């Protein structure tokens, strides 16, 4: 196992590739080594799942924002600005 890990990337390297893989496709040779490491390393695969969970939760709460709204005061200020700019 240790020999196998030495043939591939270190966990620190895998962490960098995991971040890169969130933004773009990894080149195939790197992707193969990255995938093999994740299959054998619980910590690195956990780290990847956590980054994906963070991304998932951000998306979830961006779609569920019912508690946020403009104050009435701010709405009135915007309306006043629009009235002034529409020449009323």
| Chain residues in the site for another protein (CB under 8 A) | 9-13, 15-16, 19-20, 22-24, 43-44, 46-47, 50-51, 53-55, 57-58, 60-62, 64-70, 74-75, 77-79, 81-83, 85-86
Give the up-direction half-sphere exposure of residue 66: CA atoms within 13 A in the CB hemisphere: 1
- Cβ neighbors of 55 (< 8 A, separation 6 or more) are 22
Residue among 9 and 34 whose Cβ is closer to another protein = 9
Nearest approach in angstroms of CB 37 to another protein is 11
Residue among 15 and 36 whose Cβ is closer to another protein = 15
Q: Do residues 34 and 21 make contact, with C-beta atoms less than 8 angstroms apart?
A: yes
Nearest approach in angstroms of CB 28 to another protein is 18
Distance CA 29, CA 53 (A): 26
């Amino acid at each position: 196992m240790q020999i196998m890990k030495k043939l591939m990337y270190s966990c620190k390297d895998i962490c960098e590739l995991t971040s890169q893989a969130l933004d773009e496709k990894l080149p195939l040779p790197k992707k193969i080594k990255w995938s093999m490491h994740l299959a054998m390393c619980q910590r690195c695969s956990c780290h990847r799942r956590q980054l994906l969970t963070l991304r998932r939760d951000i998306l979830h709460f961006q779609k569920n924002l019912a508690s946020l709204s403009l104050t009435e005061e701010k709405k009135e200020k915007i309306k006043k600005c629009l009235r002034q700019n529409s020449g009323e």
